[in-house]
Structure 1
Amino acid sequence: MEVHHHPHVEKKNFKEYFLEFLMIFLAVTMGFFAEQMRESVADHNREKEFMKSMLEDLKTDTAKINSFSMQANVALTQMDSLIHLMQSRDRAKYGRTMYYFGRTITTKLRRFELNERTYEEMKNSGSLRLIRDGALSDSVSKYYASQTHFKEQSEIQIQEMIAYIHSAVKVFDGAVFQNMLQKSPYRVNPPQGNPQLITNDAAIINEFVGLLHYYSAEVLINLSYAVQEKDVTIRLIKMIQKKYNLQ
């Protein structure tokens, strides 16, 4: 009769079990920290890429502000001159200039809006959290929060311009305006000769001057905001360049 002997299994003591547990624990912990480090490096790279993109947006903003400021100053000069000529007793001598200024004023200014492309992408994807520097994060949030104000002011400027246009057609001959247009390339040329206003009614002239005043006042307000915003934009550009070593 065969006798089967069970193999002898040596029991592990507490120390061996503890060492196995410790090795598994360390392996899991190291893996966790490695994953956290990998995510941290990835987040940092994404943060820098977003900031590079935002930096380009801000540089575009400065160019837009410079362009708007130049256009606004030209428009304001023309508005001041047109108001003066309209109120002049011998305005009939300056029909050519009044027609030219009266028509080109509305071509000088575009809607004043800054670039929110990168900020909107970060906000919509939840990536604003990647900006780890508290001061920079606050500055970015405040900068783009102010854009709502600029959009509102831009809308008011458009409304004032529309009101001005409605008044201008009561004063200027539309056929003369049409002849001033050059189609290719698009341009508004000074009129031929010395065309006259279609009315000398004091009330209509006064209405025109009043609406032109409100339009110019809104342009002046927006110009003031643009100049202030340029300083803020430049400071934010410098903060980003310094923080991320970008140019």
Structure 2
Amino acid sequence: MEVHSHTHTPRKKWTHYLWEFLMLFLAVFCGFLAENIREHNVEKKKGEQYILSFAEDLKKDTAQCDLSIPELTETMRVLQDLTSCFNTLKENIHNTDCLKGIIISSRGFKDFIYTDRTIQQLKNAGGLRLIEDKQIADSIIDYDAMVREMQIHQGVLENLQQITNNAHKSMIDFIHFDELSLKGHTDKLFLLSNDPAELNKYFNSINEFRRGLFGQLVWMRLIKDKATRLLELLHQKGYK
């Protein structure tokens, strides 16, 4: 009968197990590192896309300012005659020709509608952290804060506009006021009261609106300047 000898597998040295562990650790670490690099590149790309989108929003804002500033400037020019017209009417309540331009110019103003689609996305998604350039990120935050502050003023101005429109309706006869509002001209305006106190109250309402319009003009110039400088910064940083 044959006797079979058992084959013994030599035991591996501890250095072999150490090497296997190091290889496994290195594979896991490299995979983790590659995933981090990939995520960083994706987030960097998203940040760049947000900046380009924000630049387009800035261009829309500056275009609005380019429309509003000349209109507000012309309105302020017309309303400079407010004191002169008040004195004219105090002398002769029927000499109302000076009121026509004042009424047309104080009927309303062009609202500034903030193009905030990108900034809202950045806030809601925590996207500001994706913008690696601190100077750009800080400038975006500063610009948004400025526009938000302007919107508070604009809300006050809208209330002043409503008060002024109500004053027009209370002081000017319906037929001619309606004609002036719709067509921009009328033959003659008639004041519904010749009471000096009512006339004074009426002109005070218009004057408050004029002051609010001047504030709006200042804000439009500030926003345009801020947006223009921010666009220049983005251009310098390579975002064209």
1:201 is matched with: 195
* Counterpart AA for 2:73: N
TM-score (norm 2): 0.89
1:104/1:221 Cα in 2 relative to 1: closer, same or farther (>3 Å)?
closer
Distance, in Å, in 2 between the alignment partners of 1:22 and 1:54 is 47
Matched, 1:157 2:150: no
1:176 is matched with: 176
2:231 is matched with: 237
Matched, 1:101 2:95: no
Q: Any residues of structure 2 matched to 1:1-247 within 5 Å, and which?
A: 6-88=6-88, 89-90=91-92, 92-95=94-97, 98-107=99-108, 109-180=109-180, 182=182, 188-191=183-186, 193-243=187-237, 245-247=238-240
Give CA-to-partner distance per residue, 1:44-67, whole Å, 9 cap, x none: 110111111100111111111222
Three-state SS of the structure 2 residue aligned to 1:30 is helix
Deviation at 1:93, TM superposition (A): 4.3
Distance, in Å, in 1 between the alignment partners of 2:87 and 2:54 is 48
CA contact (8 A) 1:72 1:219 kept: yes
Three-state SS of the structure 2 residue aligned to 1:9 is coil
Three-state SS of the structure 1 residue aligned to 2:170 is coil
Distance, in Å, in 1 between the alignment partners of 2:151 and 2:16 is 71
TM-score (norm 1): 0.87
Q: How many equivalent residue pairs?
A: 238
Distance, in Å, in 2 between the alignment partners of 1:4 and 1:74 is 113
Give CA-to-partner distance per residue, 1:126-149, whole Å, 9 cap, x none: 111001112221111121122331
Percent identical residues = 25
Distance, in Å, in 2 between the alignment partners of 1:226 and 1:9 is 86
CA contact (8 A) 2:62 2:227 kept: yes
* Counterpart AA for 2:107: T
Gap runs ≥5 in structure 2: none
CA contact (8 A) 1:58 1:237 kept: yes
Distance, in Å, in 2 between the alignment partners of 1:56 and 1:67 is 17
CA contact (8 A) 1:76 1:216 kept: yes
Deviation at 1:179, TM superposition (A): 2.8
1:14/1:201 Cα in 2 relative to 1: closer, same or farther (>3 Å)?
same
Three-state SS of the structure 2 residue aligned to 1:170 is helix
Distance, in Å, in 2 between the alignment partners of 1:177 and 1:7 is 114
Q: CA RMSD in A?
A: 2.1
CA contact (8 A) 2:146 2:223 kept: no
Distance, in Å, in 2 between the alignment partners of 1:2 and 1:74 is 119
Give CA-to-partner distance per residue, 1:188-242, whole Å, 9 cap, x none: 4211x23332332211111111111111111111211221222111111122222
Distance, in Å, in 2 between the alignment partners of 1:4 and 1:213 is 117
CA contact (8 A) 1:69 1:226 kept: yes
Distance, in Å, in 1 between the alignment partners of 2:85 and 2:210 is 15
